[in-house]
Structure formats: C-alpha cells, structure tokens
Amino acid sequence: MDSVLPASIGVRFHKTKLEDLAKNDKFFRAFLAVSPKPFQGVYRCSLLKLAVELGVKPYNVPKILYSIQHSGNGEISYEVDHESFVLELNGIPSPKQIMPLANAMIESTRQIESALVQKLNCMYFVARKVSMPTVDSMLKKENMNEEGAKMYFDFSRQLNDLINIYFSIEREGKFP
C-alpha cells in the first residue's frame, strides 16, 4: 500500500478564474483538464486522475494544494472527500495470482478500516472522559476525598491510558 489519500478534491477559486490561472501554471492546466465545469462554484475531480494528468505520485497532489493555498495569495481553498487507499503494483500479476491477491487486499483493507473505527471509538471515550467532569464536581470530589491530589493523578493516568491505547491500535482485536 502506497498511502491513504482522499479519493476526490474540490477547489474553489477566489481572486482569479481557473481558466486564467491555467494559462500560466502547469498545475491549474492539469486541473482544468480533469475538472472543466464547476458545481456551485466548486471544481471537483478525482485525485488520481489529477495525479496522472500532472505526472506525479498521488501523495504529491495534497502537498501541492497545501502549498498553493498557503502561499499567501488567497487564490484557492480546497477540501478533500472520502479517504481511499492507494496501491502501487510493481508488476502485473498472473491470472492465477489475481484472486489470492484480491482476497489479501480485501482482508488487509478490512483490518485497516477496523483499526480506524477502533481508534475513532477510543478518541470518543477520551473526549467523553475529558468533558465529563466540571470544575464544581471535581472540587466536591476533592473535598470529600482525603487524597485530593491522587484523584487528579488517577484521572490523568486513565486519560493517558486511553490515549496510549489509541496509538497502539494497529489491528482489530489487538490491544496492548
């Protein structure tokens, strides 16, 4: 697997029209070729088609967009949609290898997606843990408890444990 990238990008042009930018810039010429018509002011295209048109690796396209957006000119703003997996095949598989390769790709993709869901769930619990206590409730617990400082350390430890679980999840069902 080469990378995880957005499947499509949408670009809005602010100061100058796409057609005018395309006259002097290779990137905008390629973008115009794969996304000739805007919808509600936003030009949309497949990231992969744009990469092919530009003759660059797909993971370079977001870098290019980021540098254009943050160049200070205020020419564009962009958004990305639907993450996708980019696979790079270095050779054409034989007909006998296609089904096992497809099955292995599906299984790996499912494991990645499952890990992403587990990470999302873990971050939900972190956010919930952080947002639950109010200052008043923490002060009441501190006053009721003889070891008030320990309560804060325990709370911090539990939060750190959740964050560490997040960063350790790589495969479904595999927790530290």
Whether residues 78 and 103 share a domain: the answer is no
- Asked if residue 175 belongs to a domain, the reply is no
- The rounded distance, in Å, linking the Cα atoms of 80 and 48 is 13
For residues 74 and 123, membership in a common domain is answered with no
User: Can you tell me the distance from the alpha carbon of 147 to that of 138, in angstroms, rounded to the nearest whole number?
Assistant: 13
Instruction: Please indicate, yes or no, if residue 176 is contained in any of the structural domains.
Output: no
Q: Among 86, 104, 139, identify where a domain stops.
A: 86
Distances (CA, A) of 141 to 21, 37, 150: 62, 60, 11
Residues 80 and 135 in one domain: no
pTM: 0.51
Question: Among 86, 107, 126, where does a domain finish?
Answer: 86
For residue range 85-126, list pLDDT tens digits in order.
666 667 777 888 878 887 887 787 777 777 777 777 777 777
pLDDT digits (tens, 9 = 90+) for 117-172: 777 777 777 776 666 666 677 677 777 776 767 777 777 777 777 777 766 766 54
User: Are residue 122 and residue 82 in the same domain, yes or no?
Assistant: no
Range of the domain at 159: 95-168
Single-letter amino acid, residue 59: Y
- Total residues belonging to the chain: 176
Q: Domain for residue 115, yes or no? A: yes
